[in-house]
Amino acid sequence: MDGITIISDNLQLEDVNVNNYRSATESTVRQQVERQILTEIKQGNYIVTTEKPTIVSALWAIPKPDSTYIRLIHDCSGPDLTSLNSNANCEHYSYDTVDKVTANIK
């Protein structure tokens, strides 16, 4: 499988299902959200499954600036203690500027 491992395989998880935010379910954007989800499936970013996943995160739909498209955002932070973030591997990453990176290249 491509991608990264977000949580350890040996965790004992409880089923968690969080409702989508109004930004993703309002009648004015629902068609855009559904179209974007189909695009994500076609691009291989989402997969269709016959089984409900253990953790289902809530979805936001944010309009892209100067565009008719929306950006889907998965909220992995809730509910507390049972969310994807609650079970994530605790590695921390930081980003540097290009100037800092090029200064370290030898």
The answer to whether the pTM exceeds 0.85 is no
Instruction: Report the C-alpha gap between 12 and 101 in whole angstroms.
Output: 40
| 63 inside domain | yes
Q: Give the C-alpha distances (Å, rounded to integers) separating 24 from 50, 80, 82.
A: 23, 21, 22
Our count of domains for the chain comes to 1
3-state secondary structure of 66: coil
First to last CA, the chain: 35
- Residue 67 belongs to domain spanning: 16-89
pLDDT in tens, 22-73: 999 999 899 999 999 999 999 999 989 898 888 788 899 998 888 888 899 9
| 55 inside domain | yes
Which distant-in-sequence residues (6+ apart) come within 8 Å of 11 by Cβ?
87
| 3 inside domain | no
Instruction: Report the C-alpha gap between 103 and 106 in whole angstroms.
Output: 8
| 46 inside domain | yes
| Structure-model confidence comparison of residues 38 and 77, the more confident one | 38
| 101 inside domain | no
pLDDT of residue 31: 92
